[in-house]
Amino acid sequence: MTEFEPVLLKRISKKASPSLDAYRADGGYRALTKALNEMTPAYVVDSVKASGMRGRGGAGFPCGVKWTFLPKDHPGPIYLCINADESEPCTFNNRILMEEDPHQVLEGVVLACYAIGAKTAYFYLRYEYGRAYRALQKAIDEMYAAGLLGKNIMGKGLDCDIFLHRGAGAYICGEETGLIESLEGKRGWPRIKPPFPAIEGAFRKPTIVNNVETMACVTHIIDRGADWFKSIGVPPDPKNPRDAGSYGPKLYCISGHVNNPGCVELPLGVTVRELIDKHGGGVWKGRKAKGVIPGGISMGIMTEAEFDTPLDFNGPGKVGCLGLGTAAITVFDDQTSIVDVLYGIARFFAHESCGQCTPCREGTGWMMKILDRMRKGLGRVEDLKILDDVAKSIGIMPGTTICGLADGAGWPIKNAVQKFRSELEEYIRKGERSTAASLQMVGAH
């Protein structure tokens, strides 16, 4: 198998300059020129749809299909929101794209605006990404100066403005309707659906919310064609009728107890083991891995035995995890207490639950309190049953809450109680106490 040549990280791995001139010298804005000269908006939508690209934000909804949900012949305005509120723990693929190669993303944004008929794009950036903010703002200024934004882009009659909007650091503002509420200047509380944002989103107008990496992929799909995109990745699993396939390159973030943490670009479908051993330089300090959190902490936990699971949109589900998520794996070694891992996770969700829906508001706090008691050596075996039940009732059972936060909060707990039951019982029986330093919430939250 030949080595995969990076696409999204191509310029970044060469340490190419993020400036507009350098980007153009490397073939930048070729896709936009091509689209404006040769393609109708509908053709762009169809290309993205044909590529089978699924959104890179976590839910994996096919991007082109989402675009077609917009009402036909709407008098406008239609808005595009770029979800750059990358707040899933251990995830930093968007950050690298925005900081190191912003034009690649912004070209995709203009292409998407052209495709869906939006004249305004809001770039919702999490507050903590100061460097990304500066890089993006500089790139946007360059684009205005070069006539790539504003009125009548490239003389083709396309008007497009991009506004950078910085969030205030809440995880929930990464949920698409929470993002929209926050963008409107309100509390970032996810909205009840229907209406879905494509019908009534920001400022009560049709709105598409897309991830940063999705936008970067759009650039390459238009540049190289849908067939090229489809030649990478994994076709649909015939055993799973709901799997729409996992095509294209994907940025994988590797963090935790590995020798070389970082972000790598690979075709979808790479296994966890390959990521750790080949790209992450193996588990640190010569230890063995106990498990991994695949795709951000909302997706659950995989044990070492499950490391051959391919990380595509279908794979993690086969071993009881929620899905691919953001494809950011966090490795923990065999000397890490699973109780500490769970407490850290539960504490995060208790802190980030917006407090709107009762099950999530109260359930996340309760799970944190139970795990805190456990790590103080006061756990009871029946606590495991309670944890499992709370996890199920707050989010895993479909429909119990407005958004997916509680689902994500429940999944790692459910996985751990199932997969690490003997360790948890042992911990409780021995009355062990956590030796880990109290996990402090730092900076971001």
Residues at the site binding another protein, with contacts judged by CB under 8 A = 170, 172, 187, 192, 350-359, 361-366, 369-370, 372-373, 386, 389, 393-394, 397-402
Nearer to another protein, 271 or 393 (CB): 393
Cis (ω within 30 of 0) for the bond into 102?
no
Would you say 6 or 365 has its CB closer to another protein?
A: 365
- Which of 377, 105, 71 minimizes the C-alpha distance to 219? 105
Side by side, the strands of the sheet bearing 150-153 are: 150-153, 158-166, 120-125, 79-84, 207-211
For residues 158 and 33, what is the distance between their CA atoms, to the nearest angstrom? 12
Q: Cβ 377 to another protein, closest distance in Å?
A: 15
- Residue 277 is encoded by which pair of tokens? 């051993």
Nearer to another protein, 175 or 352 (CB): 352
Instruction: Give whichever of 155 and 185 is closer to another protein, judged by the CB atom.
Output: 185
Q: Whole-number minimum distance, CB 401 to another protein, in Å?
A: 7
Minimum distance of another protein from residue 282's CB (angstroms): 38
> Closest approach of Cβ 356 to another protein, in Å?
5
> Least Å distance between CB 389 and another protein?
8
Nearer to another protein, 305 or 444 (CB): 444
- Name the residue among 182, 156, 148, 158 with its Cα closest to residue 29: 148
CB 133 to another protein: min, Å: 24
Pick the closer one to another protein by CB: 385 or 430: 385
* Residue 50 or 386 with smaller CB distance to another protein: 386
Tell me the closest approach of the beta carbon of residue 15 to another protein, in angstroms: 40
Least Å from the CB of residue 168 to another protein: 12
Smallest distance, Å, CB 242 to another protein?
13
